[in-house]
Structures are given as structure tokens and as C-alpha cells.
Chains A and B, each alone.
Chain A
Amino acid sequence: MPSNAARRAPSRPSSDRPYMAETQFSLRIPNRPKAVRRALVEICGRTDASGSGPDTVGRIEITLAEVLNNVVEHALRHEEEGEIHLTATRKNDGWHFDIRDGGVAMPGGIVPHPDLPGNNCPLENLPEGGFGWAIVNTLARDLHYRRRAGGNHLTFVIPEH
């Protein structure tokens, strides 16, 4: 659950109110692509303010974009006003993410492991989608998915080197 401090945090980044260095924060993200975009900008600001380098912040943004957009496009697709609950915690080995939604389950109850197209894939056969989970599987460590209490619960770590 989000802490009280996190709940009071501004929902949007503001250039005249820089983020404090913090080791944990929580966000509630409405199930819309533009809300995901705003959340990603905010999360980058917060992880950057906590002292994480640009490479780490970049890997966090790329991974979370795929995870959060997947929830919006699939799990919460039929919800008028769904919400994603995200908690980020910085530990010695990196940023630990806990992401929950009340949408429909992941097909098969597991995180997809799609293959990327091979190097000799002809142009006309190149996929225009399906790259998302390949990216997540590459960048995230300790990726776990559980279905419980009518919702989805995904946890993973973005390591800091």
C-alpha cells in the first residue's frame, strides 16, 4: 500500500518543485496512454533525483513503458476508469517495482516470452508489435507474475550497476 507521504506527493512533475531524494514512492496511474506517459516522466524525475544514473533511469523508463502500456491495452482494456498501482523501492541491488491492477488475467497466467525476429527476417514479414515483453524480459530481473484477489500483481527489479 502507498505510504501517506507518497499519497501526498504531487501527481504531476513540476519544474519549480524538484523531487527529493527518496528510496520509495507510490503512484496511481489511470488506464490511459497519456496518463502512462505522464507517470513515466514523473518516475524518471524521481529516480534521477534519487541519484540513479541516466542508464538506469533509461532502463526503468523503457521497461515500465512496456509493463504499464500492456496493462492499459490488455488487462484494463474494458474498464472505463481503471487504475494501476505502482510502488518503487530503491535497494542495494537496484529499483524494485511492484505493479498491481484489477483487470483481466495474463493469458495462460504467465508472462509472455516472445522470440524476436531473426536477423534474416524479410522486410515484409517483420512484426509491427510484440516487442514489448522481449524488452521487459531482457531488462528486468526477478520477474514474477501472480494472479490473486481478482487482480494482477507483477514484481521485478531493474538492477543498478
Chain B
Amino acid sequence: MNLSRHETADACVISVNETRIDAAVAIQFKDRMRDKTEDAGARIVLDLGQVEFIDSSGLGAIVAAMKQLGPDRRLDLVALNPNVDKVFRLTRMDSVFRIFDTLEDAGAL
């Protein structure tokens, strides 16, 4: 599970350099997110532009990644592909996360 991180003026951007977040890697994703965000600031932006598919385990891992940030930090999502977007809408998780089309829209360039 390859995640990379860079800082912008207002956010810590985590890019998922994988095409799938599914049952095979969900726990790994959650653990890697904990490592990557441990010392991050109040706003974390997860760039899902390379991810073509997530299943409910992957979705659960993204929810878990947000919860483990605690109440004082937030996780926003960027660049959801059509199938990924579908899973968020079907489970109403699109109302839980703030979702942006691009890093620019998210104010995280």
C-alpha cells in the first residue's frame, strides 16, 4: 500500500498511489494512514485520483482513518473516480466527508 505525503500552505496531502483499496489491503491502508498522519496538522486531504475501485472494506478503512484523527482534525477527499464516487453515494458517506473534484478546489495546491 503505497501512500505519499506532501505539505501545502493549509493542508497535509496524502496521495494513494494504488488503483484499489479493497478487502485485500484495507487493514494495511488504515495502518499506513495512521503512520502518515500521526504528526500532521488539522487538515488532511486524501487524494484518491489514482484509485479506480473501492469496496465496503476500503470504505470502512477510509472512515476508520478519519476517526483515528480524532475530533480536532479533519479528512477531506479529492478526485473520486466514477466507481469510487458511486460507493460513497450508495452508502451516504458522501454526506460525511467533504469531497472536492481537484486539489485546487480543495484549496490544497
Contacts and interface: CB of A to CB of B under 8 A. Distances in A.
A75 to B, nearest CB: 14
Instruction: Bin chain B's interface residue count.
Output: 20 to 34
Contacts of B95: 119
Interface in A19-38: 33-34, 36-37
A3 interface: no
A22 B24 CA distance: 29
A55 B60 CA distance: 23
Interface string A103-126: 000000000000011010101101
B38 to A, nearest CB: 19
A34 B87 CA distance: 20
A37 B22 contact: yes
- Name, among B22, B23, B24, B90, the residue most crowded by chain A CB atoms within 10 Å (CB to CB): B23
A65 interface: yes
Given A33-B22, A54-B82, A61 B64 contact: no
B76 interface: no
B66 interface: yes
A7 B67 CA distance: 45
Contacts, number: 79
Contact of A128 (B61, B71, B82, B83): B61
A148 to B, nearest CB: 27
A139 interface: yes
B15 interface: no
A37 B24 CA distance: 8
B50 interface: no
B57 interface: yes
Interface of A: 33-34, 36-37, 40, 54-55, 58-59, 61-62, 65-66, 69, 72-73, 116-117, 119, 121, 123-124, 126-132, 134-135, 138-139
Interface of B: 20, 22-24, 53, 55-57, 59-61, 63-64, 66-67, 71, 82-83, 86-87, 90-93, 95-96
